[in-house]
Amino acid sequence: MREVASRLASRLDYIKLKPRRVLDAGCGTGGDLLSFGERYPEAYRVGLDASFGMAKTAAAAGATTGWRRLLRSAPPYGVVQADFSALPFAPRTFDLVWSNLALHWYREPHRVIPEWHRVLSTDGLLMFSAYGPDTLRELRAAWAEVDDVPHVLEPTDMHDLGDMMVASGFDTPVTDMERLTLTFESPDTLLRDVRLLGVNPRPERRGGLTGRARHAALRAALERQRREDGTIALTFELVYGHAWKIPEKTDAAGNAIVRLQDIGRGGRPR
């Protein structure tokens, strides 16, 4: 997660943005919130996660210490537990909505992206990363040799996410993808790391324990995937997306809206 966050954050180096308020949607344990404290030291940073445990840890990580706390000069920092598709914030609250490897955990991203658009201010920026459909394809293939029950996350395709951003009102969204391949010396080390990711939130998953026989069959299927160098590979497809929230063109009555600062401009300012 830290590696992907670093790759996503590097894109901010080329964007002129001084946000007053930043939302980290799916903040996890708060690593990105701390990074934004360095990048945007005066910004009001808010973290949100669906997990109470994650939100609690992120809140503790952001506790202000030292002389800035004594002088009460530290930028506001808060964390909230909430549903991604029902953000507890007023419209146009944030200038930057950031989400690192969180969107794929929600089965209905078409309900999440409109909420990101709603809470963004006009000319605000959305940046996110998520897993793509090829993520853990080797593990998915191994399980297919064992039974027909879904065991692995099936993320949304990059192009579908782009369509959702357009449908939500974002301006000229950009999505791109890269693949990372991790290698493991044994099926046990691979499965250990996968368990740490918690990659099966699907409600139709098997409810009981895997059982020794089925676990042995899975390990055998992974063993058959060994490459010439003796390792077992695991693919991660990483999807990156960003888009701007453009000014509304009409009001609720259908009347055209023209901002004073846009009069005489050929395009929208960034």
Residue 187 placed within a domain: yes
The dihedral formed by the CA atoms of 77, 111, 98 and 29, expressed in degrees to the nearest 10: 60
Residue 269 placed within a domain: no
Instruction: Provide the angle, in degrees to the nearest 10, between the axes of the packed helices 31-39 and 2-9.
Output: 30
**Regions of the chain short of the pLDDT cut 70:** 62-75, 199-209, 249-270
Residue 82 placed within a domain: yes
Confidence (pLDDT) at 202: 63
Residue 267 placed within a domain: no
Residue 268 placed within a domain: no
Domain count, the chain: 1
Per the CB < 8 A criterion, the answer to whether 133 and 109 are in contact is no
The DSSP secondary structure of 159-218, one letter per residue, reads HHHHHHHHHHTEEEEEEEEEEEEEEESSHHHHHHHHHHHT----TTS--S---HHHHHHH
CATH number of the domain where residue 229 is located: 3.40.50.150
Note the residue count of the chain.
270
Structural domain containing residue 221: 2-262
Per the CB < 8 A criterion, the answer to whether 26 and 49 are in contact is yes
Chain center to CA of 234: 20
